[in-house]
Amino acid sequence: MAEESALIEVKNLSINYDDFAALRDVHLTIQKGNITALVGPSGCGKSSFLQSLNRLTDLIPGCQTTGEMILGGKNILSPGCDVLSLRRKVGMVFQKPNPFPQSIRRNFEIPLREHGFSKLETTDRMEDSLKRVGLWNEVSNRLSRSAANLSGGQQQRLCIARALALDPEVILFDEPCSALDPHASGVVEDLISSLRGSVTVVIVTHNLAQARRIADHLAVFWVRGGSGTIVETGATDALFTSATDPDAKSYLTGIRG
């Protein structure tokens, strides 16, 4: 386990879709350089929580967030927060791989040039991050071909590489393996695991075995009184063996959920 120091402090977070309170009173500390897994049944607000971490919730009409999320001394949720540089610091990888349907190179050029990197730096960073996700050998001779032609697993690794290229402090993963076949899923899981220490990872997964394999910390989401909330957090091993919350306990031991 990496050294413990809080990177993100979530206090009293609530998320509403119009009148519907999807998430209420969430408190969570995310440790720097660790992998934190968010687990729980569908519809308990895990994706909503993840999206609020880089303000993608802004894109959803009618979605409101209250509370505090402190990253680097600043509140992510405050209106004054510069979302563009926030999203550069907090990258995201989605359930369905979503490379831009343009050349592999363009997939790096678009974000990197937008954030002010020179052409030369862009090429270097593209190569570095493609190597980091183990894709370089597979695509180095077809960088100008469309990313849409890659296999699902390759596309997902490309998306991870694209996020890594911006040197983020945090990468959010929303069920990154659930649209992939078992082999590709294993490759991506190993890749996420290898990020430990260099990047802080927050990952939503429905695969408890996977959570157990890769996560240092666990946060169990549950619906209480119509709204999602975190019912228990802790070190992964400790939680799997001795959760105190009855719902969390039955969920983690596979009795319910």
Ligand X SMILES: Nc1ncnc2c1ncn2[C@@H]1O[C@H](COP(=O)(O)OP(=O)(O)O)[C@@H](O)[C@H]1O
Query: For ligand X, which is the closer residue by CB, 95 or 194?
Result: 95
By CB under 8 A, is residue 116 in contact with another protein? yes
CA distance 185 to 152: 10
Q: Which residues contact 202 (CB under 8 A, 6 or more apart)?
A: 30, 35, 36, 38, 50, 53, 170, 171, 172, 173
Per CB under 8 A, which region of 83-91, 135-143, 181-189, 198-206 contacts another protein? Answer: 83-91
By CB under 6 A, is residue 46 in contact with ligand X? yes
Per CB under 8 A, contacts with another protein among 188-207 are: none
Sequence-ordered alpha helix ranges (H) in 81-235: 83-89, 104-114, 119-132, 136-139, 152-164, 182-194, 208-214
Per CB under 6 A, contacts with ligand X among 211-230 are: 228
CB 227, CB 21: distance < 8 Å: yes
Query: For another protein, which is the closer residue by CB, 63 or 208?
Result: 63
By CB under 8 A, is residue 178 in contact with another protein? no
The one among 45, 91, 97, 153 contacting ligand X by CB under 6 A: 45
Three-state DSSP at 189 gives helix
Widest Cα–Cα separation across the chain: 55
Residues near another protein (CB under 8 A): 54, 56, 59, 61, 82-88, 91-92, 94, 96, 98-102, 110-111, 114-116, 159, 162-163, 166
